[in-house]
Amino acid sequence: MTDAIPQLAAYDDATLDRAFATLATEVTKSVTSEDPEAFRLHWLGRKQGRLKLVSDAWLKSAPAEARKPLGIRFNQLKQQIEAALEAPAANRQVYIQNRIDISLPGTVRSPGIPHPLLTTMDRVVEVFHHLGYSTSLGPQVESDFYNFEALNFPPNHPARDTQDTLQIAGQQSKASRDRLLMRTHTSPVQIRSMLAGPPPLRLVIPGKVHRNDAADATHSPIFHQVEGLCVDTNITFSDLKGTLDHAMRALFGSAVKTRFFPSFFPFTEPSADVQISCIFCGGKGCRKCKHSGWIELLGCGMVDPAVFEAVTAERRRLGLDPTPYDPARISGFAFGMGVERIAMILHGVSDIGHFYSGDLRFLEQFA
């Protein structure tokens, strides 16, 4: 099966590549799993081995500058032949055909890490799990009823202007309560949860929300919230304060203080904004807290009786027992916070866009 040694017409790279490719194919074809010794002698035999013959024919007449490229290709061919000899007999043909160099180390794949936003969201959720809260989830495409109406944002009410909403197209023929939109907050899951079962409820609701906001250093049209809802008999504002005070210390350290300011949300009454003492300066005042010593972090309040009334009316409409959410019998509180904002504070990130860029130089810092 020994062919004549092909003659080299020239010593340029293309000619050499062609000539050695022919030889490599010949090696592949001549591999036999039955008789490796014959294969070895055929190619590597000291006097009449084919590699020796080729070397004699090509190397000796080669000009000086062609010696190096020729030598490199000879070595590669020799390695291919040796790899074929070392491979287990049954696999020899496969190794050769696939040109796998089994002496190379394997490909190392890095296992990846959870995204810093997910880690932050999990961290917040875990704090509330320890307080006996369970997790509830809901759809990102919501109806107007769950996202607004049941949460005390009546149709055409100016409170809706505070959440620039992405509407789903082609909904004009539907009743206003059934029109679909991208949820602007995680609060619709409060309504879904209250329709799903009676109190007591202690829920934490993480998720993605959408608003038609222009992207800048602190805004993104898609962001993440964690919302909380507690409904039971005799829930008071001091329960809300105690819960959030504990949660903030669990998240940011036991030295952190909280303070509450009057605010407005349609679905809570009274409502409050919560600030924590600056975790960078301990409250003395620095650039991060704009020299106030405090950082604004979340919104909260007692569930507005109008929300319980909407839930009661909807339960009646759906044929469910309307009594469990009678606002005369129960009370509750709700709170919500932005995951991006917390992650930015925890990690000292100045531009929200880093979280979505997919830039490994940024993400690898959280590995």
In this chain, which of 286, 320, 346, 363 binds Zn ion, going by CB under 5 A?
Answer: 286
Q: Is 348 left (phi over 0), alpha (psi -120 to 50) or beta?
A: left
Q: Which is nearer to Zn ion, 8 or 281 (CB)?
A: 281
- Residue 306 engages Zn ion in binding (rule: CB under 5 A): no
205 is a site residue for Zn ion (CB under 5 A): no
Q: Spell 290-309 as b/e; 16+ CB within 10 A means b.
A: eeebbbebbbbbbbbbbbbe
Which of 340, 274, 333 is CA-nearest to residue 119? 340
The yes or no reply on residue 261 touching Zn ion (CB under 5 A) is no
What sign does the CA torsion over 160, 237, 191, 225 have? positive
| Beta strand ranges found along the chain (DSSP E) | 134-135, 141-143, 180-182, 201-210, 222-232, 258-265, 268-277, 294-303, 331-338
Nearest Cα to Cα of residue 331 among 164, 200, 217, 243:
200
- Nearer to Zn ion by Cβ, of 261 and 280: the residue is 280
* Minimal distance, residue 127 CB to Zn ion, in Å: 23
Residue with Cβ nearer Zn ion (40 or 257): 257
Check residue 278 for interaction with Zn ion (CB under 5 A).
yes
Residues 287 and 130: their CA atoms lie apart, in Å, by 34
Judging by DSSP bridges, how do beta strands 201-210 and 134-135 pair with one another? parallel
Q: Tell me the C-alpha distance between 195 and 201, whole Å.
A: 11
Instruction: Compute the distance between CA of residue 231 and CA of residue 111 in angstroms, rounded to an integer.
Output: 41
Q: Is 253 in the site for Zn ion (CB under 5 A)?
A: no
Residue among 277 and 312 whose Cβ is closer to Zn ion: 277
Q: Report angle CA 305, 125, 133 to the nearest 5 degrees.
A: 50
CB 191 within 8 A of CB 150: yes
Structure letter (DSSP) for residue 309:
H
C-alpha separations of 37 from 44, 53, 77 in Å: 10, 19, 18
- Is residue 84 part of the contact set for Zn ion (CB under 5 A)? no
Is 279 near Zn ion (CB under 5 A)?
no
- Does 289 help bind Zn ion (rule: CB under 5 A)? yes
User: Diameter of the chain by CA atoms?
Assistant: 105
**Only segment of 142-150, 238-246, 289-297, 310-318 that touches Zn ion (CB under 5 A):** 289-297
- Residue 53 CA to residue 55 CA, distance in Å, equals 5
Among positions 250, 281, 346, 363, the unique one binding Zn ion when judged by CB under 5 A? 281
Closest approach, Cβ 217 to Zn ion, in A, equals 18
**81 in Cβ contact with 49 (< 8 Å):** no
Q: How far is the CB of 258 from Zn ion (least distance, A)?
A: 15
302 touches Zn ion (CB under 5 A)? no
Helix H segments across 99-236? Answer: 116-129, 144-147, 188-196
| Interface segment toward Zn ion; rule CB under 5 A; list 98-106, 137-145, 184-192, 272-280 | 272-280
Kindly tell me which of 68 and 259 has the beta carbon lying closer to Zn ion: 259
182 near 210, Cβ under 8 Å? Answer: yes
- Among the listed ranges 93-101, 114-122, 287-295, 330-338, the one in contact with Zn ion (CB under 5 A) is 287-295
CB of 131 to Zn ion, least distance (A): 28
Count of residues interacting with Zn ion (CB under 5 A): 6
Q: Which is nearer to Zn ion, 202 or 341 (CB)?
A: 341
Which region, judged by CB under 5 A, interacts with Zn ion, from 42-50, 273-281, 323-331, 337-345?
A: 273-281
Stretch that binds Zn ion, among 14-22, 85-93, 286-294, 348-356 (CB under 5 A): 286-294
| Closest approach of Zn ion to the CB of residue 343, in Å | 18
280, 350, 357, 364: which one binds Zn ion (CB under 5 A): 280
Single out the segment in contact with Zn ion by CB under 5 A; choices: 35-43, 216-224, 236-244, 288-296.
Answer: 288-296
- Report the nearest approach of Zn ion to the CB of residue 287 (Å): 7
Residue 248 interacting with Zn ion (CB under 5 A): no
Which residues here bind Zn ion, judged by CB under 5 A? 278, 280-281, 286, 288-289
